[in-house]
Structure 1
Amino acid sequence: MAGSEAKTAVEWLVSVAPDPDACRWEWERNPLGVALLPAGRRWDVLILPGELGYPTLDVLGRLVDRPGPVLADFGDSRMGFFVPPGTAAHWVGTGIRSAGQGTWIVVPYPGRGGGGGVRWLIAPDGSGTLCDPVLLELAMHEAAAGLARHRGE
């Protein structure tokens, strides 16, 4: 990630913090390179098990040039897809967790390694691009069908 793109992504991410300047200052000095940011303002996060998340991301990557931001946790057991605010309140799916209004998530600094246990698979570009929830749902269905076929073999 280029320096100017990382800076734009940081500005976009910290804009949701109660005190963006203080958040940026702390984030840049945090040895783990993570910040706790509120969901539900500019984005919600749908959290998929890694077993479903990676094939979903593969399918989504075939549907759009660049999906919105996607996180993975330490050990790849979960993945977080950034979606428009309000999505979490209406999402129903077995095994899918969500972070929306009133929740906070750990977010790594764009352009740095994930020393805090989370890392970007697709970092935000600062433009506000998010994963389209309709396409994400279609990708999840296709990925789940592929997993079911694989298990049936």
Structure 2
Amino acid sequence: MNEAARTVTDWLASAHPVPAQARREFDVGIALVPTGEKFDAIRLPATVVRAAARTEDPDAVAAFLATTLPGGAVIHDAYGIGVWYYALVPPGTYANWQAPGVECLRPGTWLGVPRPDLTARPGPHWALPPHTADSVCAAHALADLVTRGQNSLRQTPTPTQTSTSTSERTP
């Protein structure tokens, strides 16, 4: 493991009450660490993230996240169809987070955090990996992403709306 990866691993492990345990868990891929001390985490529905990115392609979503949340870190829980993204944000964000429909996890919530080099499926992996200690997303940038995604979802017609519109036009 190179020095940068070791620094990131140490930072993530330091969120655990017993950092050595988190390091052992990283050896098998995922460590459970509590939110609140080193970082908070915002749970984002994948539909909102993909709508903000205007793509379903995981690589394009990752590129969008890198541009939209520079310097941050985002986990993709990719079991099944990838229901959730978890953006790491500065500790204390929980107290002021107000984006409707998107939850900031309560401090002390145990989060499955992938080893820093896990950047592909299957399972939870980094859609936007941390590159330094304190790789957190700016909360205001994340709120903007949520607004953009939710607005995009409201503007996209559902199949039911499309078929209703078509049948209304048919004499």
Give the TM-score normalised by the residue count of structure 2: 0.74
RMSD: 2.5
Amino acid at match of 1:4: E
What are the within-5 Å matches in structure 2 for residues 80-99 of structure 1? 80-99=86-105
Larger Rg: 2
Say which of 39, 47, 56 aligns to 2:35.
Answer: 39
Amino acid at match of 2:83: S
> Structure 2 vs 1, CA of residues 14 and 143 (structure 1 numbering), >3 Å: closer, same or farther?
same
What are the within-5 Å matches in structure 2 for residues 4-153 of structure 1? 4-28=3-27, 30=28, 33-56=29-52, 61-63=66-68, 66-73=70-77, 74=79, 75-112=81-118, 117-151=123-157
Q: Structure 2 stretches of 5 or more lacking a match?
A: 54-60, 163-171
Amino acid at match of 2:4: E
For the residue of structure 2 that corresponds to 1:93, the secondary structure is coil
Identity of aligned residues (%): 28
Offset from partner CA, 1:32-72 (integer Å, 9 cap, x none): x11100100111001011000234466654445x2411011
Q: Structure 1 stretches of 5 or more lacking a match?
A: none
- The answer to whether the 8 Å contact 2:71/2:130 transfers is no
Amino acid at match of 1:12: W
Q: Which residue is equivalent to 2:165?
A: none
Structure with bigger RCO (C-alpha 8 Å, 6+ apart): 1
> Structure 2 vs 1, CA of residues 54 and 12 (structure 1 numbering), >3 Å: closer, same or farther?
farther
- The answer to whether the 8 Å contact 1:68/1:130 transfers is yes
Query: When the two structures are aligned, how many residues end up with a matched partner?
Result: 148
Residue 87 of structure 1 deviates from its aligned partner by 1.0
